[in-house]
Amino acid sequence: MTPQELATALARILTEIVAARGLDLVVTEQDTPVERPKNREHGDWASNAAMKFAKRMGVNPRELAQEITAKAAEIEGVAKAEIAGPGFINITLDAASAGETARRVVEQGANYGRTETLKGQNINLEYVSANPTGPLHMGHTRWAALGDSTARVLRAAGATVTSEYYINDAGSQMDKFGRSVLAAALGEEAPEDAYPGEYIQALGAQIKAQLPGLAELAESDRAAAIIEAQELGYQLQLAEIKSSLERFNVHFDVFFSERTLHAKGENGEPSPIESAVERLREQGHVYEDGGATWVRTSAFGDDKDRVFTRGNGIYTYFAADAAYYLSKKDRGFGEKIYLLGADHHGYIGRLSAIAGAAGDNIDTDITVLIGQLVNLNGAKLSKRAGNIIELDDLLEWLGSDALRYSLARFPADSPLALDGEKVRSRTNDNPVFYVQYAHARTCAVDRNAEAAGIDRSAFVPELLTHASETELLGKLQEYPGIIAGAAELREPHRVARFLEELAAAYHRWYDACRVLPLGDEPIGDLHRTRLWLNDAAGQVLRNGLDLIGVSAPERL
């Protein structure tokens, strides 16, 4: 029996008690959650449902707890239900019921833990969205890891998720990029405002090789040469960004080009940005003042109204933000999640105001998450990029698994300082090694069991009575709830922290209970049943690591 099933059973019991008293109260499983008691002598699970509802029902908490425990003791798989303190309900499962979790995990395999709590939600998740004018660097790593993990967790909870990268390929930074790479391609002195770093020189060399007539074009039409160099340099740099992300095991469904927001239709139809201002005008939120076009975003919590077009008719960045939001709305996304860097706090009010002006519910249709910076001791500035620490260099130094896990195990809104040498160490003090080692151990047990002739031909769950087995089974039971909670709160670090707890429980079980018989001891059903438990632990470790984009090696 899982905690969710137990919570559902308690909700049903409480609903019956409420109905018997003629009260108008609705009880759901969210009202009756169970948790592991701090003292395991108090049972497998505990609930405060009686204390939560006693006042609303006008009864004494212990009196209500007595009614609940009497019925809870009759639940199939429950060995006993007892009252503690002012009205806590402690529940102990029978060994067979608890042990059945191992069979369930093994049989469900990669699907174990997946839920449908967010089924029907169509979510757009935007993250990273770095300018395509240079390589990805350490500042992008945290959102790359957390964004991809968040998408995986949301999907595991039943949501339909589109992960999206917004390519900032329009505006002054692209003009600057074009001038920089053209000068490098022609062997000229870099412009005063050029992008620094050897990567510009490398791009220039590639552009020169692929555009042999560029020098002649530059002599006759410098502006056209800048455009050609900019476009090829942009495509080369974007390809490198995509390659770096794939090496980091980060996958995007959509790469959305900002240029498309400025482009008119094939038959001269208004661009998405032009359409956006008219759509917001129809909502009654646009006005003209001082020759500029404004959107009344202050009506939706923004600190001030925002300019859509200036007096010279040039669209602002806000205009692109608005058109982009409307694009997501038009593509049928209910919730739009933005994962933004620490320097984007001002975007919370701005984006929420856009959602409100577009007629959306700012409490449910948009979520803006701001992440804090990450500092990695021992990381070296890139020789190629000059003034940054490149993602590719970090991957070369630490590896994708160690870097992703280390970034994923902390809440996004907490400042993060990592010790590079610890991150890459192969000791139990390193959480990623500790968890991966636990999985590798389950695989070693499998190999040794096969060699000894032990298989899963028998499963007798009532034999799993050792305290370490009860603990390990309890952890396996928690996993579906961990996924549901991590998805609901958009906090994938909960999965990583759970995996560390599961690994610890497995290591304790491994030290206390043997799958292989000792000496001349004959192979029995206990050994076969423990193999089920071993494999269940390995499966959940594997499932959880996959949710944070980390491999589950069979050997270390």
Is residue 408 a part of any domain in this protein?
Answer: no
β strands within 278-331, DSSP E = 286-289, 292-295, 306-309
Is residue 405 a part of any domain in this protein?
Answer: no
* pLDDT score of 439: 98
Category of 409 on φ-ψ map: left (φ > 0), alpha (ψ -120 to 50) or beta: alpha
Of the residues 247, 263, 279, the one at which a domain ends: 247
Residues 138 and 203 reside in one and the same domain: no
* pLDDT score of 385: 74
pLDDT in tens, 211-226: 999 999 999 999 999 9
CATH number at residue 262: 3.40.50.620
Number of domains in the chain: 4
Q: Which single residue is written with the structure tokens 């949710």?
A: 547
Residues 502 and 440 reside in one and the same domain: yes
Is residue 445 a part of any domain in this protein?
Answer: yes
* pLDDT score of 280: 93
Residues 340 and 478 reside in one and the same domain: no
Q: Which single residue is written with the structure tokens 């389950």?
A: 442
Is residue 375 a part of any domain in this protein?
Answer: no
Residues 6+ apart with CB under 8 A from 441: 506, 507, 510
Is residue 464 a part of any domain in this protein?
Answer: yes
CATH number at residue 13: 3.30.1360.70
Strands lying side by side in the sheet with 254-257: 254-257, 160-167, 122-126, 335-340, 366-370
> Residue 415, exposed/middle/buried by CB under 10 A (0-12, 13-18, 19+)?
exposed
81 forms beta bridges with 91
Structure tokens at 287: 């006005």
Of the residues 247, 279, 303, the one at which a domain ends: 247
Residues 13 and 26 reside in one and the same domain: yes
Of the residues 325, 342, 370, the one at which a domain ends: 370
* pLDDT score of 415: 86
Is residue 35 a part of any domain in this protein?
Answer: yes
Residues 181 and 157 reside in one and the same domain: no
Residues 230 and 295 reside in one and the same domain: no
Residues 144 and 184 reside in one and the same domain: no
* pLDDT score of 268: 86
* pLDDT score of 38: 77
pLDDT in tens, 425-467: 999 999 999 999 999 999 999 999 999 999 999 999 999 999 9
Residues 296 and 362 reside in one and the same domain: yes
- Backbone φ and ψ for 75, nearest 5 degrees, come out as -65, 135
Is residue 180 a part of any domain in this protein?
Answer: yes
Range of the domain at 513: 427-547
* pLDDT score of 379: 86
Low-confidence ranges of the chain (pLDDT < 70): 383
Report the alpha-carbon distance of residue 535 to residue 554 in Å, rounded. Answer: 12
Residues 130 and 220 reside in one and the same domain: no
Report the alpha-carbon distance of residue 407 to residue 409 in Å, rounded. Answer: 6
Residues 331 and 444 reside in one and the same domain: no
Is residue 285 a part of any domain in this protein?
Answer: yes
Residues 436 and 514 reside in one and the same domain: yes
* pLDDT score of 4: 84
Report the alpha-carbon distance of residue 20 to residue 481 in Å, rounded. Answer: 31
Residue type, 350: R
The reported pTM is 0.90
pLDDT in tens, 228-252: 999 999 999 999 999 999 999 999 9
Residues 463 and 543 reside in one and the same domain: yes
β strands within 134-242, DSSP E = 160-167
